[in-house]
Amino acid sequence: MAERISLTVNGTARELDVEPRRLLVEAIREDLGLTGTHVGCDTSQCGSCTVMVDGRTAKSCTMLAVQADGSDVLTIEGLASGGKLHPMQESFWEEHGLQCGFCTPGVVLSAVGLLRDDPAPDERAIRAGIEGNLCRCTGYHNIVKAVQSAARKLAAAPADKGR
């Protein structure tokens, strides 16, 4: 039997009726139509489904939607603000941190979470911070450069830090 859950998704209050077995990623993609959150595996390894739940990154294929009841969920669609890309998105664009783009929403959100915990990570910390996100295309080099660039931008513009 479906259960009613309440979420704040990208700043908007939403109510959903979900089966207890429904995954958060299914609710995000299929019930809310937010298809920027991807599904790249069925083994919880790829990180394409990464979102933020109450400010912490989470693989949304590893959570039931009912477990997120009452939570604040941020998906890639909610990262830009006022028509302006988040500095992390801007840096991925500028540093060519993506090729096919399939992994990118998850990598970007993991990187945003990393910088919230560690605003000035070295290369090793960046690679460790995104190790839960697999990319088949880039070899990670430009992803690391993008995260380093975003860290510099955020250090120079503290107003963007909470985004």
Supply angle C-alpha 80, 145, 138, rounded to 5: 90
**Binding segment toward ligand FES, per CB under 6 A, in 75-83, 85-93, 132-140, 153-161:** 132-140
Asked if 129 and 118 touch (Cβ cutoff 8 Å), the reply is yes
Q: Is 87 in the site for ligand FES (CB under 6 A)?
A: no
Which ranges of the chain would DSSP assign to H, the alpha helix?
24-26, 87-94, 104-117, 123-129, 141-156
Q: Is 140 in the site for ligand FES (CB under 6 A)?
A: no
Count of CB atoms within 10 A of residue 121's CB?
Answer: 19
Q: Is 138 in the site for ligand FES (CB under 6 A)?
A: yes
Q: How far is the CB of 77 from ligand FES (least distance, A)?
A: 17
β-pairing, 3-9 vs 72-74, is parallel
Q: Is 101 in the site for ligand FES (CB under 6 A)?
A: yes
Asked if 56 and 113 touch (Cβ cutoff 8 Å), the reply is yes
Burial 132-161 (b: 16+ CB within 10 A, else e): bbbbeebebebbbbbbbbbbebbeeeeebe
**Binding segment toward ligand FES, per CB under 6 A, in 13-21, 82-90, 95-103, 148-156:** 95-103
Of the residues 137, 148, 160, 163, which one makes contact with ligand FES according to CB under 6 A: 137
Pick between residue 40 and residue 121 the one whose CB is nearest to ligand FES.
40
Taking CB under 6 A as the criterion, which residues in 18-77 touch ligand FES? 39-41, 44-49, 59, 61
Size of the site for ligand FES (CB under 6 A): 22
Q: How far is the CB of 47 from ligand FES (least distance, A)?
A: 5
Closest of 122, 129, 119, 123 to residue 150, by C-alpha: 119
List interacting residues with ligand FES (CB under 6 A): 39-41, 44-49, 59, 61, 98-104, 135-138
